Every structure is written in structure tokens, then in C-alpha cells.
């Protein structure tokens, strides 16, 4: 059973899923990432580019 304290679930459109499938094959040379690792890699890359310029106050649709 999935540890809900460590993981979350997301719903994606078919187009987004297909895009992630394509990205999963090109993000790391000679390796295909899982969809979840692809999302994780893209999120970390974006956060690094923002360099701490985002906070929870700026996030939309927060869960309590």
C-alpha cells in the first residue's frame, strides 16, 4: 500500500501524459524514466531555476 505521507497522486490529461512519455525518454541519456520520476525531475529543474523565488503564499489551490 502506498505511504500517503510520502506520495501524492495526480491526474493528467492524455495529451500531458503523452508529452511526459516522450520527455521520459530524452531527459536522461540512455535511460527511460518513469512518469513519476519525469514529473519529479521537471519540478526540481523548475524550482532550481526559480531559485527560491516562490513560497507557499504564492501557490494556487493549496490543500489544507
Per residue in 2-56, pLDDT (tens digit) is 788 998 899 999 999 999 999 999 999 999 999 999 999 999 999 999 887 876 6
Query: For residue 57, what is its C-alpha cell?
Result: 503564499
CB-hemisphere CA count at 13 Å for 40? 9
Q: Which residue has the cell 516562490?
A: 54
End-to-end, the C-alpha distance of the chain in Å comes to: 23
0.85 exceeded by pTM = no
Burial 33-53 (b: 16+ CB within 10 A, else e): beeeebbeeeeeeeeeeeeee
Amino acid at each position: 500500500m502506498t505511504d500517503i505521507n510520502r506520495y501524492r497522486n495526480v491526474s493528467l490529461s492524455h495529451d500531458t501524459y503523452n508529452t511526459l512519455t516522450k520527455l521520459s525518454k530524452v531527459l536522461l541519456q540512455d535511460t527511460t524514466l518513469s512518469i513519476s520520476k519525469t514529473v519529479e525531475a521537471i519540478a526540481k529543474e523548475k524550482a532550481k531555476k526559480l531559485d527560491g523565488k516562490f513560497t507557499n503564499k504564492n501557490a494556487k489551490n493549496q490543500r489544507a
